[in-house]
Chain A
Amino acid sequence: MLALQEIRRKKLQFGLISLIVGLVVYLLVMISALGTGLLSAMSGAVNSFDGDLVVFSADSNDSFLRSELTAEQRDAIVELAGADSTGGVGYMAATVQEDSASEDVALFGFQPASIAVPPVRSGRALQGEGEILIDRSLSRSTDLEVGDQITMRNALIDYELTIVGEVDEGQFLGLPSAYVVLDLWREMRYPGQAEDAPAVSVLLVRRDTSALGARIEAAIPNTSVLSKSDAISAIGGVTEQERVVMAIEFFGFVIGALVIGSFFFVLTMQRGYEIAIFKALGASSWYIFGQLTRQVVAVAMVGLALGVPLALVTDAALPADIPLEITGGAFLTGGVSITIAALLGSLLSARQVVLVNPMSALGQV
């Protein structure tokens, strides 16, 4: 209560520092949102897979682009894990054309009636090979919509497809995802090799026993089983990208801590007289530091109250193709780290507080 009185009487000083803290919060939220946005642009479609494990071929270096599982491998895995808990997925890059416009997509083929089937948001599910589902990110960035006819050209063969539904699965490697049935994918990916072609790129497995991954690897030659999150980290560039974002977040955190810390350090030096009065009256250094901490928390809260709406406004104002995803996590990261930064920063003043001599209140030092 007394700590907040000081804030009331020193509105300008505390207002300015709260504004600066608000900007640091804003920065931290935006960095975190950008990190989430980049990550989901790289791997959102994989993250949306309904499965806990991803089985790659061992020689693919756990890459969706290179992994190929044969029909025998697939059948053996299905036998081990159960048909209800598996789903085959094929991947390839493809180009969707409508009139003169063309758009690159990450094309997934999925095994019908398996856990690989993506849930449809609008329109209907696939019923055959002449149909395609597109991700919301594609319908947002182009004027493609449910009902449109598109052409997909691959290996000089044109496939005429109808968009029958829209999904919300996200992007992969920066491209919006699109979904066809596994047979069509196989035809496009391995034209003219009907019988000998690999069956799927990867197999999704819902984990029901803990050692299933190891059992698959042990029992079936040339397989590599990763958890979904490891499979995401294995996507080229994802780990590097996450490290860069984390480094920027760390610098934002350190700068926040230093800014707040310096402010309270200077403030503590300036109010040596007031602190001396409190001490002369018998206040412990703990008490004074506790008051300081309340002020720090108050400043952090006001900073949050300024920075968070600012981030929301920015998000609304920015065009959709900037990979910015403000989540509750972004606010949590911004809020928690600024509060921790503020408290760490205030430790700079702890020594200052202890050193104040109560006799200086009497002008006797």
Chain B
Amino acid sequence: MGRDEEDLVAQSLTKVFGAGDTAVEAVRDASLSVRAGEFVAIVGPSGSGKTTLLAMLGGLLTATGGRVIVGGTDISRLNEAQRARFRRERVGFVFQGFNLVPYLTAEQNLLVIPSISGKLDGQMRARAGQLLQELGVKKRARHLPGELSGGERQRVAIGRALMNDPLLVLVDEPTSNLDSERGTEVVRSLAEEVKLRNKIGIMVTHDRRMLTHVDRILEIADGRLHSPESSP
């Protein structure tokens, strides 16, 4: 497998919501490439198009224009079912609101991933236990999301994102529910994971304090992506 097979390349990504007078151009002409093993942050104010961009990179949202190639696959050409498969096999999402399934325990939320791939077995159960252990929430394995603190929920969400050993790890606003100290800690462990397992890591945030452990920073404003004028 060549090096570029493991990269992410986005070319001239555009997303327009709605049409006519009410059309919103959430992302305009965004291009970026991220190598495997690299952890990149995209920083920008609220409403600048971060979540929209991340959703397009992860095959959750179809772009209005441009294309995304991940690990050699042009996901802009995939149909809905193929994109779903791409997400469950190659992408790990940590959503802004964590989005844990409320009626499943922490452990079962991790097991959703093998379950939707039809691969729920003893090995996957062991992996879930292992991840919860590493993330320090093993004791909470049998608790429902409603019984967990914000930080614990986030760690469960990260565990879930890593369950399928994804090539692409996407993190949306890791700190919005946390104090900044814990947030930095989470970013550091994600950055380590990306390095160690040669993943493609992309985090979007409005919080500049989160940028300490990243390899590279991009800025987004009004849907336009650009490199920062000065390093942080």
A280-B87 in contact (CB<8A)? yes
B81-A10 in contact (CB<8A)? no
A281 within 8 A of B: yes
**Interface segment out of the listed A18-26, A85-93, A317-325, A357-365:** A357-365
- Distance (whole angstroms) from the CB of A276 to the closest CB of chain B: 8
Contact among A9, A283, A358 with B60 in the assembled complex (CB-CB below 8 Å) = A358
A284 within 8 A of B: yes
Give the nearest-CB partner of B88 in chain A: A282
A1-B120 in contact (CB<8A)? yes
A6 within 8 A of B: yes
Contact among A1, A277, A282 with B99 in the assembled complex (CB-CB below 8 Å) = A277
Contact among B89, B97, B103, B172 with A282 in the assembled complex (CB-CB below 8 Å) = B89
Known: A280-B60, A282-B89, A284-B81. A362 touches B99 (CB 8 A): yes
A271 to B118, CA, bound (A): 22
A201 to B60, CA, bound (A): 79
B72 within 8 A of A: no
Contact among A10, A283, A364 with B52 in the assembled complex (CB-CB below 8 Å) = A364
Residues of B near any A CB (own CB < 8 A): 51-52, 55, 60-61, 81, 84-89, 91, 93, 95-97, 99-105, 108, 111-113, 115-118, 120, 144, 160, 172
13 further interface pairs, Cβ-Cβ under 8 Å (given A1-B111, A277-B101, A287-B118): A2-B104, A2-B108, A5-B105, A6-B103, A277-B99, A277-B100, A280-B60, A280-B99, A282-B84, A282-B89, A282-B116, A287-B115, A362-B51
B99-A359 in contact (CB<8A)? no
Known: A362-B99, A363-B97. A281 touches B87 (CB 8 A): yes
A215 to B226, CA, bound (A): 97
A362 to B56, CA, bound (A): 13
Give the nearest-CB partner of A363 in chain B: B97
In the bound complex, residues from chain B placing their C-beta under 8 Å from that of A361 are 95, 99
B103-A9 in contact (CB<8A)? yes
Counting from the closest, the 3 A-B pairs by CB-CB distance are: A282-B88, A282-B87, A9-B103
Contact among A5, A279, A281, A362 with B108 in the assembled complex (CB-CB below 8 Å) = A5
Q: What are 6 A-B interface contacts by the 8 Å CB criterion?
A: A2-B111, A277-B99, A278-B116, A281-B87, A283-B84, A362-B172
B116-A359 in contact (CB<8A)? no
In the bound complex, residues from chain B placing their C-beta under 8 Å from that of A277 are 99-101
A92 to B87, CA, bound (A): 78
- Distance (whole angstroms) from the CB of A272 to the closest CB of chain B: 13
A5 to B111, CA, bound (A): 12
- Distance (whole angstroms) from the CB of B172 to the closest CB of chain A: 8
A274 within 8 A of B: yes
B116-A281 in contact (CB<8A)? yes
In the bound complex, residues from chain B placing their C-beta under 8 Å from that of A358 are 60
In the bound complex, residues from chain A placing their C-beta under 8 Å from that of B96 are 362
Contact among A1, A10, A283, A284 with B103 in the assembled complex (CB-CB below 8 Å) = A10
In the bound complex, residues from chain A placing their C-beta under 8 Å from that of B101 are 274, 277-278
Known: A284-B84, A358-B60, A364-B52. A2 touches B99 (CB 8 A): no
A1 to B108, CA, bound (A): 9
Give the nearest-CB partner of B17 in chain A: A364
In the bound complex, residues from chain A placing their C-beta under 8 Å from that of B160 are 281
- Distance (whole angstroms) from the CB of B141 to the closest CB of chain A: 14
- Distance (whole angstroms) from the CB of A280 to the closest CB of chain B: 6
Give the nearest-CB partner of A7 in chain B: B103
In the bound complex, residues from chain A placing their C-beta under 8 Å from that of B108 are 2, 5
Interface centre among A1, A278, A281, A363 (most CB of B within 10 A): A281
